[in-house]
């Protein structure tokens, strides 16, 4: 079935436990038949600095999954945009990737999963692109969003300090991290810093250190060890050869595959030639996702 250029969508809004108001779009299935899929609704979670309206892979999935009988909720987190104003029940506050506390992401995704069940969906998947996959894995590892029965991580980086610091191309990361530490020690942790690795980004010094510190709070491999639902991980082959955020993942994922039980198997696939945006590989990624969800 061909994917249309335009589709009817419903605007949706959710209130998080801490009072933020986040927006998204709901795409209902074309034919109303979700029986052939393992899930009846996929919650698509954007990556760093993106949002629920951005073009790219998640837009492609938002149009393709309903054609296969699976509803889609394409949603914002509090980290949408680089710097943004977040609506709340008490006014507004500054947010976006520069200012977000990543540890609060489960509040966002648990709220969205709760709304999905209120709308009548009961077999949910979290589908996270890049940082969205890290947030999704963190949510499930923390036993939040218990309505979710499947996890898909698309090009999610590894937030492992030593892997990033020791990579042969990591000179910029080491310099940016040292600069962030200097600002924090000088009492300027909230100063915005333009970092170059592992991706170009404007972020406060304190948040940069919190995300990439040796504590490895957001290491996708560590988080996946705590996930208890069937999981699909897709990686871009070009990233594995270029970036310390991906280089060790195939080895670690193979080991994780062996340790995960049959009730929560892990499948991973490398998309040869692709980088994290998966530009030009949207059809291949979508085909893999649909095949896995139909299995």
Q: What is the pLDDT of residues 65-87, one digit of tens each?
A: 999 999 999 999 999 999 999 99
Q: List strand residue ranges (DSSP E) for the chain, in order.
A: 10-15, 21-27, 41-45, 71-75, 84-88, 91-95, 124-129, 148-154, 192-195, 201-204, 231-236, 266-271
> What was the pLDDT predicted at 123?
95
The model's pTM is 0.95
Number of neighbours of residue 210 by Cβ within 10 angstroms: 19
- The mean per-residue pLDDT over the stretch 154-183 comes to 94
Structure tokens at 178: 């040292």
**pLDDT tens sequence across 271-284:** 999 999 999 999 99
Banded pLDDT at 4 (limits 50, 70, 90): low
Q: Which domains does the chain show, CATH number per domain?
A: 10-160+217-294 (3.40.50.1820), 161-215 (no CATH)
Structure tokens at 162: 């030593």
Angle at alpha carbon of residue 189, lines to 187 and 193, rounded to 5°: 130
Banded pLDDT at 46 (limits 50, 70, 90): very high
Asked if residue 102 lies in contact with residue 218, where contact means CB atoms within 8 angstroms, the answer is yes
Number of neighbours of residue 55 by Cβ within 10 angstroms: 8
In angstroms, the CA 79 to CA 248 distance is 26
> What was the pLDDT predicted at 263?
78
Residue 1 has pLDDT above 80, yes or no: no
In angstroms, the CA 27 to CA 118 distance is 15
Structure tokens at 38: 């393992």
> What was the pLDDT predicted at 146?
85
Number of H helices, E strands in the chain: 10, 12
Asked if residue 234 lies in contact with residue 271, where contact means CB atoms within 8 angstroms, the answer is yes
Does residue 98 or residue 8 have the better pLDDT?
Answer: 98
Phi, psi of 15 (to 5 degrees): -105, 125
């Amino acid at each position: 079935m061909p994917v249309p250029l335009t589709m009817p969508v419903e605007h949706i809004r959710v209130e998080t436990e801490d009072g933020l108001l986040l927006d998204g779009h709901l795409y209902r299935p074309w034919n109303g038949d979700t029986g052939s899929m393992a899930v009846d609704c996929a919650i698509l979670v954007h990556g760093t600095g993106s949002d629920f309206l951005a073009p790219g892979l998640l837009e492609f999935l938002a149009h393709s999954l309903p054609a296969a009988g699976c509803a889609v909720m394409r949603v914002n987190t509090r980290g949408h945009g680089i710097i943004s104003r977040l609506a709340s029940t008490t006014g507004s506050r500054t947010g976006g990737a520069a200012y977000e506390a990543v540890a609060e992401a489960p509040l966002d995704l648990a709220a969205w999963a709760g709304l999905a069940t209120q709308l009548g969906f009961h077999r949910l998947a979290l589908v996270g692109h890049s940082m969205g996959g890290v947030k999704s894995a963190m949510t499930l590892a923390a036993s939040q969003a218990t309505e979710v029965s499947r996890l898909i991580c698309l090009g999610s980086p590894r937030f492992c300090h030593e892997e990033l610091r020791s990579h042969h191309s990591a000179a910029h990361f080491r310099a940016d991290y040292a600069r962030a530490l200097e600002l924090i020690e000088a009492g300027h942790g909230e100063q915005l810093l333009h970092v170059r690795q592992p991706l170009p980004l404007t972020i406060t010094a304190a948040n940069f250190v919190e995300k990439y510190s040796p504590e490895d709070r957001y290491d996708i491999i560590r988080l996946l060890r705590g996930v208890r639902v069937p999981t699909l991980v897709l990686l871009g082959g070009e990233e594995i050869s270029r970036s310390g955020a991906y280089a060790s993942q195939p080895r670690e994922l193979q080991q994780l595959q062996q340790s995960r039980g049959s009730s929560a198997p892990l499948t991973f696939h490398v998309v040869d030639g692709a980088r994290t945006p998966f530009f030009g590989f949207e059809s291949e990624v979508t085909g893999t996702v649909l095949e896995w969800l139909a299995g």
